Amino acid sequence: MSEILVKNGYVYDPKNGVNGDVMDIAVRDDKIVDVVSPTAKVIDASGKVVMAGGIDIHAHVAGPKVNVGRNMRPEDKLFNTSKRTKMTRSGGGFSVPSVFETGYVYSRMGYTQVNEAAMPPLLARHTHEEMADTPLIDQSAYTLLGNNWLVMEYIKRGEQDKLNAFVAWMLKATKGYCIKLVNPGGSEAWGWGMNCVNVSDPVPYFDVMPSEIISGLAAANETLNLPTSIHVHPNNLGHPGNFQTTLDTIKLLEGVLPRDGKKRDQVINFAHMQFHSYGGNTWKDFETEAQTIADSINKNKNMTVDVGFVTLDETTTMTADGPMEYYLHNTNHLKWANADIELETAAGVVPYIYSPKISVCGIQWAIGLELALLIDDPMQAFITTDHPNAGPFRRYPRIISWLMSNQARLDRLETLHKVVPDRVAIGGISRVLDFYDIAKMTRAGPARALGLGNMKGHLGVGADADVAIFDYNPKTMDPTIDPAGIEKAFTNTAYTIKGGEIVVIDGEVVSKGHKRTIWVDATDGVVDPVILHDIDKKFLRYYSVTMNNYPVQDEYVANGLIVKPEAA
């Protein structure tokens, strides 16, 4: 039995309504408890900010396309390698770090759970191998289903029951956490070099519309009572004027409520909304539509977004939206990798330089911040960079400093291309967020959206003992005029506790940790022989592996934690 007492910190714990009160947090083994014995190890957190461990709801940190990015960009490591120490392995990479580096950097920032946002089912084993090698942080992976042939066939034929069963089978086969849709229909169309730009563009041959795929999988999600909602990367990412497509997507699920409202509020989480809030008709008259999108999210309490802030860095874009990456390659003419996955999905990787000198990049930077500030409830908007697409995750502290200081934003805006201020609204938004809001956007919010609100993202009794302690005194220091101080404090915690174990002290990794891999098994009473027959037929005829060699074996799941929904 190990015990820790975190004493006298300023605690920010939105789920339990604690807003900067001075409190003690007691830890026994891997849980938060009421009291601990006098022999507990004491951490003096006086004059420091205490929050639950951070949760990244959307990042590309493990799996095939991440590894393509690592391979394709040796230059990403040029000035970014780290030496091995007694406790840590060596590694490197700025925008696409190696797995060890990923675990260390997240832990230093106080993050304790990171969710891999796109796992191609056929290559799920690869994603799990990388996650098992990623130290310290808990992880889960989202199973890509929005372009799956069987999904589209069941939807086309209106066989919702079979769809539900197939989804449950797939989640178990891939050891995935939720249903992820990326450019629904569009990545299948990319098999022929085509795309689905709007929610009503029919998918070639399959003759279903993206709107039907989204509604069908959302229905399956609620029937199966999965812990989180569907996560959707909508069609038409990154094109001027695409906010209209986004509004069309929002309309599909207006008024639909989650089956179990106690657990979560949303029926859809929009991935990287910044990329979907674009106005104008071409890159020449490109402008923000963040206000329109934020208004719509404010009206629809059954939806959440992760923002996907542009950080103005050189980075590596990677997505299952194959046609988008080809389009990007034709825009910036940098190297292009593509990886179509049979019957399931696609992927592309292209380096990208978000240059502050380029007007479009400056406008993208502003749109991300506008979204976060114009969406009223921070429980609906989460901090992400769609790592590494809009910027590397190691920039989260800088994003927090922008959100907490209008002055920091205005200073940055001044350095951008001269047309930027006219095309964005950020200059006129004076709202600044406080630590309570930040705790919602990085802890309580993502935890609730993932259906893990009782276990993660808070510091109440019974929660996982994941605690981040930041060396920043909210009573004597003022984040609105001190962005550099905020960035410094959030880059290296004073302490990170993960699962009751101290893993970081003063920015230094001091433990190898005990990571967990969380996945969902919703197959109880759902999968029947008819489905297995359909799946088997697909494997016999069209897959390049046998059905028996397809599911991810238990050996690959590092320290697994299975979440079982109540039977549907």
Residues 122-141, interacting with other proteins (CB under 8 A): 122-123, 125-126, 129-130, 133
Q: Is 292 in the site for other proteins (CB under 8 A)?
A: no
Dihedral angle over CA of 348, 350, 356, 360, nearest 10: -50
* CB proximity list for 496: less than 8 A, separation 6 or greater: 53, 107, 108, 110, 112, 467, 468, 469, 502, 503, 504
Kindly state the smallest distance separating residue 339's Cβ from other proteins, in Å.
6
Q: Can you tell me which of 7, 8, 89, 419 binds other proteins, judged by CB under 8 A?
A: 89
Q: Which is nearer to other proteins, 331 or 549 (CB)?
A: 549
In 385-527, which ranges are E strands?
467-470, 495-498, 501-505, 508-509, 517-520
Sites for other proteins among residues 32-51 (CB under 8 A): none
Contact 354, 364 (CB under 8 A): yes
Q: Which residues between 364 and 403 bind other proteins (CB under 8 A)?
A: none
Q: Are 375 and 385 in contact (CB under 8 A)?
A: no
Give the nearer residue to other proteins in terms of CB position, either 149 or 436: 149
81 counts as binding other proteins under rule CB under 8 A: yes
Contacting other proteins within 98-127 (CB under 8 A): 98-100, 122-123, 125-126
353: number of Cβ within 10 Å: 13
Neighbours of 197 (CB within 10 A): 17
Query: Taking the complex as a whole, how short is the minimal distance between the CB of residue 543 and other proteins, in angstroms?
Result: 6
- d(Cα 355, Cα 209) in Å, to the nearest integer? 36
**Alpha helix stretches (DSSP H) within 509-552:** 529-541
* C-beta closer to other proteins: residue 290 or 349: 349
Site string for other proteins, 156-195 (x = CB under 8 A): -----------------------------------xxx--
Under rule CB under 8 A, which residues in 539-568 are in contact with other proteins?
Answer: 541-546, 548-549, 553-557, 559-566
Count Cα atoms within 13 angstroms, Cβ side, for 74.
Answer: 0
Which 458-517 positions form the footprint of other proteins (CB under 8 A)? 462-463
> Nearest 10 degrees: CA dihedral of 462, 468, 474, 476?
130
If the CB atoms of residues 225 and 298 are measured against other proteins, the closer one turns out to be 225
Residue 487 corresponds to which tokens in the numbers above? 């960035």
Q: Which parts of 408-427 interact with other proteins (CB under 8 A)?
A: none
- Binds other proteins (CB under 8 A): choice among 2, 225, 355, 480: 225
Q: Quick check: 451 binds other proteins (CB under 8 A)?
A: yes
534 scored as a contact of other proteins (CB under 8 A):
no
Question: Binding other proteins by CB under 8 A: which of 454, 473, 480, 511?
Answer: 454
SS3 of residue 39 by DSSP: coil
Nearer to other proteins, 293 or 563 (CB): 563
CA distances from residue 342 to 149, 193, 531, 543, 544 in whole angstroms, order as listed = 9, 14, 19, 7, 8
Q: How far is the CB of 539 from other proteins (least distance, A)?
A: 10
Position among 5, 96, 324, 408 found at the interface with other proteins (CB under 8 A): 96
Residue 424 CA, distance from chain mean position: 25
Is the CB of 283 or the CB of 550 nearer to other proteins? 550
